[in-house]
Amino acid sequence: MGLTVIQVDAFTNQPFSGNPAAVCVSEQPLAEELMGAIALEMNLSETAFLHPIEGGYSLRWFTPSVEVDLCGHATLASAHVLWSEGHLPAGAIARFHTKSGWLSAEQKGEWIEMNFPAQPVRSAHVVPQLIASLCCGGNIRSVVKNDVNYLVELQSETALRTIKPDFEAMKKLPVQGVIVTAVADEAGYDFVSRYFAPAAGINEDPVTGSAHASLAPYWQTKLGKSEMLAQQVSARGGIVRVRCALENSNTTDDENNRVAISGQAITILRGELMEN
């Protein structure tokens, strides 16, 4: 078959940390059934599939069980692969056509900055099933939601680090997943988070770039800052820089609806898919 599969650890510069993603770059689009089978075989939170189109690359993301509309760490991994494997020259902007529209990524020194659509949150009815699934006692400060996820702010980083959700209960919620966040304790970081998506086959995602498209505007309003450094405190952990437009700035409406999400990436494995 001659299809190269590259595994990248995203949102980290250290191997075996951050969020692993598989990346497959082909000359032509692959059959949807094949992409799903490869993603299931790789058994990572996301496998990204790319092929060249006019203006950039088509990009689709698959978990082991479903296709998703937006994924940050696999986009970061895809951009890293395009540059490191010579598909794009160093310094060229990587442009991706996705189910969430056009996305772009560019090199910023040792970091990769992605341009994502903001996913602002709105007030949400606090359903008892959500509270029960988080098993967090009385530590909830607020609950809001975007189009696909609940976003829950807890009272402290300690409370966030120690929760042990009931994934079977969470799987029954009418959302893709639950973002949980709190103000960071450690100096240098602004906020911390975790992300749970058992309904998408991912009990806990190591580092979730797309969640920061909601976390950035949420914490911008809370902290009054447009540039922040965040830490996702999963077992593997990862570091995310975010930048969003300042309210009442001179940016356009379109720019106000975008979020810059930055991270680092490192190649871990390279293999060939065998034709049987």
DSSP string covering 151-219:
EEEES-HHHHHH----HHHHTTSSSSEEEEEEE--STT--EEEEEEEGGGTEEEES--TTTHHHHHHHH
Distance from C-alpha of 219 to C-alpha of 214, rounded to nearest angstrom: 9
Active-site residue (options: 27, 46, 85, 255):
46
| 85 is annotated as an active-site residue | no
Contact 71, 61 (CB under 8 A): yes
First to last CA, the chain: 9
26: number of CA atoms within 13 Å, CB side?
17
In angstroms, how far is CA 125 from the centroid of its own chain? 25
Instruction: Pull the structure tokens for residue 65.
Output: 């069980």
**Known catalytic residues?**
46
